[in-house]
Amino acid sequence: MKDNNPKRSILEIAAFAIVGLIGIACWRFLNSIEYLLFPDRKKRLIMLIDLDKCIGCNVCSVACKSENGVALGQYRTQVLEAEEGVYPSVQRLFLPVMCNHCEEAPCLKACENKAIIKRSDGLVFIDKEKCKGLQLCIPACPYGAIYFNQDADPSADVRDYPSRAVGRSDKCDLCMGRIDVGLEPACSDTCPTDARVFGDMRDGNDPIRKKIHEEKLTGLLPGKGTGPQVYYRGGNRDLFKDTIVNPHN
């Protein structure tokens, strides 16, 4: 029998909605304290970049190229520079940029071949076996973090740079191979001022997690809704408002 009472159905919908919203809120709350309830359950890998400490030395971008066999003309991470002020009150700022390993990664959604994978620890990587080189991910990334390996001589590359996947899209994978055995990514590992620190958002003892919470730190382009997992501290990021995109890729 058809229920003709519209009032009741609206109430029902409203009730469902409220229950649903409460549910979502609870879920989010539980998620946020998950690391307290289940400390060993999952990692959430993050990077904190302290712009007050960064001296613009560029070792991160070179170390990355070396670790990952990145070709000339392309970068997985770079240090941007901006100058501000009038002589003699002038400042120069440095902004290291990289893949943000987003919670809601637009590249992942853009890929037709499901080649971009977000691991349970939050790391976003491109599966070179599945990638067909369609490059749909490249314009989808608001940070310009993805590039295409268009090298002409794959055989030479395989010999000299085994980790260079020719004909595929490529980007920072947080040095997956290194971190899977407990090493740090090449960039933070060699940073002379500890301006880049690698950490785990679910580890209650991780000092950078604490810092991010206490100082309410955010990532780049928070308005894009991507949920970047690379957090920034200090400096005057506004200077880079329109130029955070990796200029090389």
Partner 1 sequence: MDRREFIKISTIGSSVIFVQKENLAKAAVDEPVQTDGKIDRITLPSACWQCVSRCAIIGYVENNRLVKIDGNPNSRRNEGKVCAKGQAGINQVYHPDRVLYPLKRIGKRGSGKWEKISWEEALGLIVDGGEIEGTKVKGLRTLREEGTPEKFLFHYGRMVGSDYTIIRNYFLNAYGTASIGDHNSICVNAGGIARMLSGDVTPGFPFDEAKFILNFGNSLFEAGFDHVPFVRRVSGMIENGTRLVTFDVRLSNTAAKSNEWIPVKPGTDLAVILALCNVIVRNKLYNKEEFQMSANVTIEELENHLAHYTPQWAEEISGVPTHKIISIAKEFGSTKFSVAISQRGAFMHFNGVQTQRAIYLLNALSGNLGSQKVVMEFPQWDYPFPFPDGAKDRLDLFEGEKGKYVITAGNVSHQICHMIDIEKDKPELYMVYCHNPVYSNGDCNQNARIYGDTKKIPFLVAIDVALSETSELADLVLPDTTYLERWTCETGRAPKGIAEYYIRQPLTEPLGESRNFVDVACDLAARLDLDLGFSSSEEFVRETCNNTAVIKDAGGFDFMRKNGIYQDDNTGTSFVQRRKINIRSEELRKKGFSGIPGWMPIPGHDKLDDNELILTTFKTNVQTHSRTQNCKWLTELFHENPAWINTKTAERLGVENGSLIKINSPIGSLITKARVTQGIHPDAISISNHGGHWAWGFYASGQRSFVHDTNFESDIRNKWWKANGAHVNSIIPNTGDPIAGSMCWNDTVVRIEKV
Residues between 2 and 31 with contacts to partner 1, criterion CB under 8 A: none
The answer to whether residue 169 forms part of the interface with partner 1 (CB under 8 A) is: no
Residues between 191 and 220 with contacts to partner 1, criterion CB under 8 A: 191-193
Minimum Å gap between C-beta 209 and partner 1 is 19
Judged by CB under 8 A, the residue of 90, 120, 214, 216 near partner 1 is 90
Q: Would you mind telling me the total number of residues written for the chain in this entry?
A: 249
Tokens (6 digits) for 208: 């950078």
Interaction mask 126-165, partner 1, x per CB under 8 A: --x----------------------xxx--xx-xxxxxxx
Residue 154 burial (CB count, 10 A): 13
Judged by CB under 8 A, the residue of 35, 45, 48, 67 near partner 1 is 67
- In whole angstroms, what is the distance from residue 175 CA to residue 214 CA? 28
Size of the site for partner 1 (CB under 8 A): 55
* Beta carbon nearer to partner 1, 20 or 177: 177
Query: Which listed range, 25-33, 108-116, 172-180, 213-221, lies at the site for partner 1 (CB under 8 A)?
Result: 172-180
Judged by CB under 8 A, the residue of 15, 55, 167, 215 near partner 1 is 55
Minimum Å gap between C-beta 223 and partner 1 is 29
Minimum Å gap between C-beta 58 and partner 1 is 5
Minimum Å gap between C-beta 11 and partner 1 is 54
3-state secondary structure string across the chain: CCCCCHHHHHHHHHHHHHHHHHHHHHHHHHHHCHHHHCCCCCCCEEEEEECCCCCCCCHHHHHHHHHHCCCCCCCCCEEEEEEEEECCEEEEEEEEECCCCCCCCHHHHHCCCCCEEECCCCCEEECCCCCCCCCCHHHHCCCCCCEECCCCCHHHHHHHCCCCCCCCEECCCCCHHHHCCCCCCHHHHHCCCCCEEEEECCCCCCHHHHHHHHCCCECCCHHHCCCCCEEEECCCHHHHCCCCCCCCC
Query: Which listed range, 16-24, 84-92, 209-217, 220-228, lies at the site for partner 1 (CB under 8 A)?
Result: 84-92
- Contact residues: partner 1, CB under 8 A: 53, 55-59, 61-63, 65-67, 69, 71-73, 83, 85-88, 90-94, 128, 151-153, 156-157, 159-165, 173, 175-178, 180-184, 186, 189-193
